[in-house]
Amino acid sequence: MNTSFYKAGFCAFSILTLASCGATYTPQPAKEGLEVTPAQNQVMEYVRKVQNQSDESDLAFEIVKSLTVEVGPRIPGSSGDKRAVVWAENKLNELGFDKVYKQAVRVRNWERGFADANVIKPYPQPLVITALGGSIATPESGIEAPVVMFESLEALSKASANEIEGKIVFLNTRMQRHKAGRFYSQVVPNRVNGAVEASKLGASAVIIRSVGTDNSRFAHTGVMRYEDGVTKIPAGAISIADANNLEAMFTGNTEVLLNINMQAKDAGWQTSYNVIGEFTGTEKPNEVVLVSGHLDSWDEGTGALDDGAGVGIATAAATLVKKVVGQPKRTIRVVLFAAEEIGLIGARQYVRDNKDSLKNIIMAGESDFGAGPIYQIDTRFNEAVRSDASELYAELAKIGVVLGNNTTNGGPDVSIMPKLGVPVIALKQDGTYYFDYHHTPNDTLDKINLADITQNQTVWAMITTYMAMSDFDPRPAPEAAP
């Protein structure tokens, strides 16, 4: 089984980036005496017109509804993923994009299969468990072994092999809610690296307290990785309620004996696709404004927040620009990336396939943090011209979206572009409750608030309008601050 693709990366890195904003920057009013040209006036009129019409449109929500009802779960390479690709092509065509095309992406398909966990001693009862993405299976009869609990990966690293040998390691790190999801990056290494670290000490399996902020019995899945030369062991997540329950069984010297049984499997290579739609620019067709989301999702929910929302927001924003202002001057390109969840696989393919034309991307952005309202725009723009878009920033500030730092990597899939010179933006969303649902069966349409997703749509549409209708050119992206 080849699982090397899991090593390449995962969305946690980009979440980390989203969370690590610097101090915010308040846009200044236009300098006194600075001349506003008729063309600039026209651009801002477009922006406001799109804003007004977007505020009245449910399009982003309706797109997510369509995706979740008509397709549902869509793990990369699965039958759901294949239906999602057909759905996306049809949807972009139906919405009137001039060009709709696909970009093949080879992915390893992983199937979750059956999973259960039962405490055998001291207090027999079932626990809710799910396999981590990419995990190998247990033997058919499961693994029955004593559990050793650690409060962190760091605590595990201090353990000795004879404490761990043959046992199930339980990583029980709590995570708090935070508007920008700041604590995700602190806890997610349990999920990604737990199996490797536990295996190095001879563990037979690893289970983690779900990387999540809810108070429920949904286990949170998400990608994990193995390392060459380290024995692969099965890895699962138990729900937070179950983690509390299991933790409470450790009293004195009580042995806690657990049986876990997970029948996940690698289902081989499949072809998935980045699905791309364009409104071709009238004046500068080769200059591209790229807005995106990712089409794949984990398999347990219907992928409404992650990342149906992004698909809906990016697609709706582009569609509204065309609908309200007509054909844009620059090309607007919507990219619905394949296989983000298992390591930005579609994004890497995009960069490879478009390496000669990346220089034509005026700006790229991805929405991939649910549907909470946007409160900040971070950029990675050429510093020398960044303030030339101050009218846009001022307009956004009026609706509570302030200008932040200039060191973002953008959303997950576009995060690999700035180092290639592509300017990016990250629109920071209120993600206080995002990790209540993230990667669980509970990521469904009802978690999206219509007003909030519409606010996202409006902000993306305003920015897309500005970028597609003006001459503002923030290329190239600067080197990131160290």
Smallest separation, CB 70 to a copy of itself (Å): 5
**Distance of closest approach, residue 47 Cβ to a copy of itself, in angstroms:** 34
418 CB-near residues (< 8 Å, 6+ apart): 380, 409, 410, 424, 477, 480
- Closest to a copy of itself by CB, 66 vs 152, is 66
Q: How far is the CB of 167 from a copy of itself (least distance, A)?
A: 21
Sheet containing strand 402-403, strands side by side: 99-111, 265-279, 330-337, 284-294, 361-366, 424-429, 374-380, 402-403
As measured in angstroms, the least distance from the Cβ of 441 to a copy of itself is: 5
- Spatial contact of 309 and 67, defined as CB atoms under 8 Å apart: no
Cβ 86 to a copy of itself, closest distance in Å?
12
Nearest-angstrom CA–CA distance, 207 and 198: 10
Q: How many CB atoms lie within 10 A of CB 202?
A: 17
Give least dist CB 146 to a copy of itself, A.
18
Q: How far is CA 45 from the centre of its chain?
A: 33
Percent helix, strand, coil in the chain, to 5, is: 35, 25, 40
Task: Look up residue 235 and give its two tokens.
Answer: 């890895």
The closest alpha carbon to 427, from 453, 446, 447, belongs to 453
Is the distance from CB of 222 to CB of 188 less than 8 angstroms? yes
- Which stretches of the chain bind a copy of itself, using CB under 8 A? 65, 68-73, 79-80, 83, 122-126, 128, 215-218, 240-241, 244-245, 248-249, 301-302, 441-442, 444-447
**Nearest residue (CB) to a copy of itself, 55 versus 111:** 111
300 or 413: CB nearest a copy of itself = 300
Q: Which is nearer to a copy of itself, 68 or 135 (CB)?
A: 68
Nearer to a copy of itself, 27 or 80 (CB): 80
- Residue of 3, 6, 19, 2 lying closest to 345 (CA atoms): 6
Q: In angstroms, give the least distance from the CB of 350 to a copy of itself.
A: 27
Which is catalytic among the residues 300, 340, 341, 366? 340
In 3D space, the residue among 86, 96, 48, 49 whose CA is nearest the CA of residue 66 turns out to be 86
Q: Tell me how far, at minimum, the Cβ of 144 lies from a copy of itself, in Å.
A: 18
CA 108 to chain centre: 19
> Could you give the CA distance from residue 198 to residue 209 in angstroms, rounded to a whole number?
15
Residues 230/200, Cβ–Cβ less than 8 Å: yes
Report cis status (omega within 30 of 0) of the bond before 476. yes
The two structure tokens encoding residue 230: 């380290």
Q: Is 218 or 435 the residue whose CB approaches a copy of itself more closely?
A: 218
Cα–Cα distance measured from residue 57 to residue 144, given in angstroms and rounded to the nearest whole number = 54
For 296, residues 6+ apart whose C-beta sits below 8 A from its C-beta are 74, 75, 76, 81, 84, 272, 303, 307, 337, 338, 339, 340, 341, 342, 346
Q: Tell me the C-alpha distance between 478 and 421, whole Å.
A: 7
Considering the complex, state which of residue 213 and residue 405 has its C-beta at the smaller distance from a copy of itself: 213
Active site residue 340: yes
Of 341, 300, 311, 289, give the one whose Cα is nearest residue 462.
Answer: 289
Would you say 221 or 465 has its CB closer to a copy of itself? 221
Catalytic positions are 340
